[in-house]
Amino acid sequence: MKLLYCGFNGFGQVEHSGAHECSSPKNGVLCLPVLIYQSETDRVVHVFLGWSRLIITTTNDSVVSGYWNGISSFKGSISGGIKMKQVTCNEHVAVCIDENGVLQKRTIDNPRAQSSAWEKVPTVTDEAGLAKFVKVLSNEHSVIALDEIGNIHLPPLRMENMQPRFVAIACGKEHFMALTNEGKVYSWGSGSRGQLGHGSVESCENPQEIEDLGGINIIQIAAGGWHSCALSESGDVYVWGWNESGQLGLPCRNLNDSSCKSNECVSIQSEPRLLDHAMPFSVDEVNVTSIACGARHTAVTLDDKSGWSWGWNGCGQLGTGDRRSHDAPVCVIQDVEKVMCGAWSTAWLSNY
């Protein structure tokens, strides 16, 4: 198994030879995918891509690299004897799900903290003895978690026993999404740039179904900074939200490579829109298999094992070899099966 990385490297998250620097140089960026992990025995089970740190969780350990507890270019295990399934963090706290489905946390980057050890997070689920946690995500201000029976935990919000149940969650800068076991998508939070997909820029305090995706069986969701993406069972991609840097794959007036006329350019797309046959990979024989969103970029993998990306490229996160942004998908890598995005970075997973 291999893991490759491109994008922001300002805190020494990735060790490299310099061969993957940009043709348009900028310190602390990697503009081509560089190999950061390889093993024939250990499997990568989760990757966290933060602004200042990278955490790779394998079957044996969780290792952080980058900025950690006040140190740049740090690299070391953070498991503390815990076998982890997922890890997420913001600038102040790290939260993990251990092998038993228990949510644990530790303080980071705080010299005055009394302890940096992992400790169990008290939850209503624990008190009721109901279910294990299966997913945890974070943004700058919040941590959101999903348990195995479909309850979402986002203090002070807790949604339980909703029908149908939730099976996946996604977290943007100011908005959240959840996917149900029936392929329906709900969103809530700020709608300032159309990222909720409800046909307006109004905010929504409670989860509301995205009606324009009704009748489409959605199997994956992804939330960018202020845009959103969904993948259907048939391999189609739907996008909505902010398109300031072409992150929706729609014509953007800010980019030099956009050939659109003024009335064709899209700034905000407040309802889900299918990436149709104008897209380079939209052919009947090839389908999208995984999706991911960064702050202002998007990436996908196809069932022919190719990887594509588009949107803002100021830190080389598209993996094109330069820092030029694109409002249409660009094929940047082959022989990959899954893609993950941080705010300014992209990681590609390969079994080859």
List the single range of 149-153, 259-263, 319-323, 347-351 with lowest mean pLDDT.
Answer: 259-263
Confidence of residue 69 (pLDDT cuts 50, 70, 90): confident
List the single range of 20-29, 138-147, 182-191 with lowest mean pLDDT.
Answer: 20-29
pLDDT, mean of residues 135-156: 88
Amino acid 231 reads L
List the single range of 175-179, 261-265, 337-341 with lowest mean pLDDT.
Answer: 261-265
Q: Is 257 left (phi over 0), alpha (psi -120 to 50) or beta?
A: alpha
- Among 225, 212, 268, which Cα is nearest to 244's? 268
How far apart, in whole angstroms, are the C-alpha atoms of residue 80 and residue 106?
11
How far apart, in whole angstroms, are the C-alpha atoms of residue 81 and residue 88?
17
How high is the pLDDT of residue 161? Answer: 57
pLDDT, mean of residues 209-232: 98
Cβ-contact 344, 336 below 8 angstroms? no
Q: For 2-350, CATH number? A: 2.130.10.30
How high is the pLDDT of residue 264? Answer: 82
Secondary structure (DSSP) of 18-47: STT--SS--TTEEEEEEEEEE-SSPPEEEE
Q: What is the CA radius of gyration of the chain?
A: 20
Read off the pTM.
Answer: 0.92
Cβ-contact 301, 288 below 8 angstroms? yes
